[in-house]
Amino acid sequence: MIELVRTNDAVIISFVESLMRDAGIACFVADQNMSILEGSIGLLQKRVMIDADQADAARRILKDAGIENEIRQK
């Protein structure tokens, strides 16, 4: 698994999950519970994780959606 996106923005997380689901790319949000425990003050970011073999396709999807600035570097 690799990290595709890391952010505090719930809208971006939801959008990325939707894009991945529509493309048939399995993903999960890591650190979701930790973010809730810290009281939502924005210290801990959530991470969208995907299989490494689907990274290129996932990055291309985010670029096509106009949110390439959210992609974590390799």
Global pTM reads 0.85
Q: Which domains does the chain have, with CATH numbers?
A: 2-70 (3.30.70.790)
How far is the CA of 40 from the CAs of 31, 52, 64, 67, 72, in angstroms? 12, 29, 30, 23, 22
Whole-number pLDDT of residue 73: 80
Whole-number pLDDT of residue 29: 94
Q: What is the pLDDT of residues 33-64, one digit of tens each?
A: 765 666 656 678 899 999 999 999 999 999 99
Q: How far is it, in rounded angstroms, from Cα 9 to Cα 24?
A: 23
Of 45 and 16, the structure prediction assigns the larger pLDDT to: 16
H or E element at residue 10: helix 10-23
- Which residues, 6+ apart, have CB-to-CB distance to 59 below 8 Å? 4, 68, 71
Whole-number pLDDT of residue 74: 63
Q: What is the pLDDT of residues 18-27, one digit of tens each?
A: 999 999 999 9
DSSP summary character for residue 2? E
